[in-house]
Structure formats: structure tokens, C-alpha cells
Amino acid sequence: MQPVAYRKAVKDYFTEFIMLFAAVTLGFFAENLREYYDERRLEKQLMRSMVSDLNRNEELLTAQQTALLARKVACDSLSYFFNQSDLRRYGAELYQYGRRIGYYAGEYPLSSRSLDQLKNNGMFSFISKDIIADSLSNYDNLKTQYEQRIKWYFEDVKKVQDENKYIYDTRVFEKASVYTNAYLFIILKPEGNPQLLTYDKEKLQKYYNSFYYLKKNTETQLRTVTDLIKSTRIVKELIIREYTLDNESN
């Protein structure tokens, strides 16, 4: 009788071991599955936030593009009048476009909340789609390059702005301004034919060189901004397609 009881006891222990092992294994898989779904939900939330940032960046970059185009037109126009045989005949035009090339406008800092969260919190590993991770990494590099270059660009704007003080009478600028509020104003063409503060050839040549380089830099920035707008749209459309956010992001 004892051997039978012993055999039953071994069988019972083995059965309990199998059941315990199965329970632990299933619990392990269940926990992993839960973590997987939690990560995918978080990933989708991050991508939804990323689309919002990209939409905002597209708006800001489009505004920057408009401002750059306006400055390019001003630079081209000022260059045209500076190359006329008698500058004294075109005082109003020189004042109008001279002021516009020195107008600071704005740097339009881009939204980076979602990208910063991914980078600073080590959450790039949550992105399950390699094509998205690679696209966001490339976009971040382009964005960083743009932000650095636009700062250098506005250093050139500031330089021309400083030189304007020695070329133009600021009282003429003031009279040709219409303020829409305490901070915003519209630049108008001055009345009459106001004269420059100096017609010294050496000083005017130095000034011409400065706004010529600003003109070329503006053209470079326009290409950079146009490329970044294109990249912003491509990345946004890729995220929307890969995560089926088209209905949710509207």
C-alpha cells in the first residue's frame, strides 16, 4: 500500500508544479502583454501630440517664409535704387525699402514639446516603427540646423539695422509709420523726397555690401525654410498614415 500512496503523492506534486508553472508563465505573458499595450497607447498619444506640434511648426514656418520673402523683395528693391545714377532722386524709395530690410520681424521659435519629451526621457525606444523613428530623428536634425541658422541670420539683420542709423534720418521713418497698436506698425513710403544723412561713396558702398550679404543670406534662409516646411508635411503625413490618426487629429 505504501508504494501506491507514494506514487499518488508524487503525481499530485507534479500536477501542482505544472499548474503553478502554467500560472506563473501565463502571468508573465499577461504582464508583458499589458506592458506592450500600455506602451502602444503611450506611443500613439505621443504621435498625436507630435502631429499637433508639426501642425504648429508648419504655421510658424509659413509665417517665417512670408517674412523672408518680404525682406528679399525689400533687398532687391533697395539694390535696384542704389544702382541708379542719381540716388538723390529716389529718397522716398530708399527710405521705404531701407527701413523694411532692417525690420526685425521675428524668429518664430518652433514647437518641440513632443520631440523634447522623446529625447530627454529616453522615450525614442517606445517608437515601434523604424520609419517613424528615423524620420523624427532626421527632422530633429533639420530643425536644429534651422534654429541655429536663423539666429545667425538675424545677426545680419541687426547689423543692417545698426548701419541704418548712419544712413537714414529716423524722423522720416517715424513720420512714415502708422501704428495699429502700441507694438505693431505699418511701414509706408515717405512723402516727398527725403534725403539720406550721407552720400559719401565709401560709406554707401559699405552699406550696400552689408545689405547685399543680407539679401543672399535671405535667399539661403528661404531655401532652408521651404525645405523644412516640406519635411514637416512629409513627417506629419507619415505619422498620420502609420498610426491611422487622420480622423483623430481633425
Contact 96, 196 (CB under 8 A): no
Top mean pLDDT of 45-49, 65-69, 126-130 is at 65-69
User: How does pLDDT run across 96-130, given as a tens digit for each residue?
Assistant: 999 999 987 777 888 888 888 888 877 777 788 89
Q: Give the 3-state DSSP-derived string for 180-248, with helices as H, strands as E and coil as C.
A: CCCCCEEECCCCCCCCCCCCCHHHHHHHHHHHHHHHHHHHHHHHHHHHHHHHHHHHHHHHHHHCCCCCC
User: What is the per-residue pLDDT for 249?
Assistant: 45
Name the nearest CA neighbour of 78 among 218, 213, 208, 244: 208
Confidence band of 250 (pLDDT split at 50, 70, 90): very low
DSSP helix/strand/coil, 90: helix
Angle at 127 between CA 126 and CA 129, to 5 degrees: 145
Q: Is the pLDDT of residue 149 over 70?
A: yes
Please give the mean pLDDT across all residues of the chain: 86
Name the nearest CA neighbour of 99 among 178, 200, 6, 25: 178
Confidence band of 11 (pLDDT split at 50, 70, 90): low
Q: Name all domains of the chain by residue range, CATH numbers in brackets.
A: 2-242 (1.20.120)
User: How does pLDDT run across 184-231, given as a tens digit for each residue?
Assistant: 888 999 999 999 999 999 999 999 999 999 999 999 999 999 999 999
- DSSP structure class, residue 110: P
